[in-house]
Amino acid sequence: MSHSIPSRDPLILAENWQAEGRHVALATVIETWGSAPRPVGSHLVIDADGNFEGSASGGCVEGSVITEALEVLESGTPRMLEFGVADDTAWRVGLSCGGRIRIYVERLG
């Protein structure tokens, strides 16, 4: 007998949230250098109320990505975000380990 387990896959959740009428943004890790907490292809899905599932990085970077995603939902304009030690915000967002990541944030639908 098989049991249906609700998926925590951010892409499936994004589809479900859209079907519920929510406005949804998707953040995707598209490039990493050095020590990065999440691999390329990792997703974070965010709705207009600030609910989110998945992970693009963890720590303070995630908070920054969610803030940017809310602005993308408002404007409809996708953004390319980059966090890393060359950036003045590296310590604040938790990338003091030497890694850099690039995250693409887009509104779905």
**Quick check: is 88 in a domain?**
yes
**Quick check: is 1 in a domain?**
no
Give the model's pLDDT for residue 6.
53
Nearest-CA neighbor of 71 among 100, 89, 50?
Answer: 50
**Quick check: is 5 in a domain?**
no
Burial of 104 (C-beta count, 10 Å sphere; 0-12/13-18/19+) = middle
pLDDT in tens, the chain (109 residues): 444 445 678 999 999 999 999 999 999 999 998 777 788 999 999 999 999 999 988 777 889 999 999 999 999 999 999 987 555 555 555 545 567 889 999 999 8
Give the model's pLDDT for residue 93.
55
How many Å apart are CA 66 and CA 56, to the nearest integer? 10
Domain that holds residue 66: 10-108
Q: How many domains does the chain have?
A: 1
**Quick check: is 96 in a domain?**
yes
Residue type, 37: P
pTM for the whole thing?
0.82
**Quick check: is 102 in a domain?**
yes
Only one residue has tokens 């602005």, namely: 71
Give the model's pLDDT for residue 38.
85
**Quick check: is 3 in a domain?**
no
